[in-house]
Amino acid sequence: MSGHSKWSSIKHKKGAVDAKRSKVFTKVIREITVAAKMGGDDPNSNPRLRSAIVLAKSVNMPNDNINKAIKKGAGDGKGENWESISYEGYGPHNVAVIVECLTDNKNRTISSVRSIFSKNNGNIGSTNSVMYMFDRKGIIEVKKDTIDEDTLTEYIIEGGAEDIDISDEQVYSIATEPSDLGSVHKYLEEKEVKIESSGLDLIPQNRIEIDDVSKAAQVIKFIEALEDDDDVQNVYSNFDISESVLQQLEE
């Protein structure tokens, strides 16, 4: 399977998780807090929290911030009442999109997300209007300059992962069944593999390839607008970009 689209490659080159923007810290802290609230403050028994901590470290979040977020979620502070909510629909040029949010105000969130869809020639659909096109997988990313492919492949077979995608220039993408994500993650850590990111992902069963620069720019603008929204945690889509268009976008 190919867990990475060419858009993923572009984002890695641009700085996929842009640590320079303060809102990245805000979203990661929110994820840590919710993970600790739902599954407890011990990352060894809470895979979602362990993945959130890995993400926090990948964007150079100080340990103090991480620990404060864990304590807040575990009940040491009153905190906000965050709720998970997802929206599905179609963006420009009929690309399927799933938007995962964490919010303390559902009315604010749906208003904002609907506005982004509308301004970019998209439409929000009903539940499962596009979800059926995606498979949920555990995805673990490891930078290529930290380990060779043969060694990592041996580890993931031993650890019980499904597959490894080597198509991205900068990272290996390891796929697992959702229920195996925690155990594979832990096994790789025990082998001292430096994990860049880890978490559940939605992988499209088929991708729509965009072979026009103007169309690609419109789709990317739409996806980035969703990702920039304060309440949005994750955005998944089934679009891909042709090699010729990719080269033009990277120039």
Is there a domain that residue 1 lies in? Answer: no
CA distance 179 to 57: 23
Asked if residue 159 belongs to a domain, the reply is yes
Statement to judge: residues 147 and 244 lie in one domain? no
Domain count of the fold of the chain: 3
Q: What is the pTM of this model?
A: 0.83
Q: How many helices (H) and strands (E) would you count in the chain? A: 9, 10
- Tokens found for residue 1: 């399977």
By DSSP bridging, strand 134-143 and strand 171-176 are: antiparallel
What CATH code is carried by the domain that includes residue 191?
Answer: 3.30.70.980
pLDDT value, residue 106: 94
Q: pLDDT, tens digit, for every residue of 11-70? A: 554 554 454 456 788 888 999 999 999 889 998 888 889 888 988 887 788 999 999 999
Both 127 and 235 in one domain: the answer is: yes
Residue 1 banded pLDDT, cuts 50, 70, 90: very low
Q: What is the separation, in whole angstroms, between the first and last Cα of the chain? A: 28
Judgement on whether residues 215 and 239 belong to the same structural domain of the protein: yes
Domain that holds residue 222: 83-132+206-250
Instruction: Show Cβ contacts of residue 188 under 8 Å, excluding neighbours closer than 6 positions.
Output: 140, 142, 155, 156, 159, 174, 195
Candidates 53, 18, 32; CA nearest to 195 is: 53
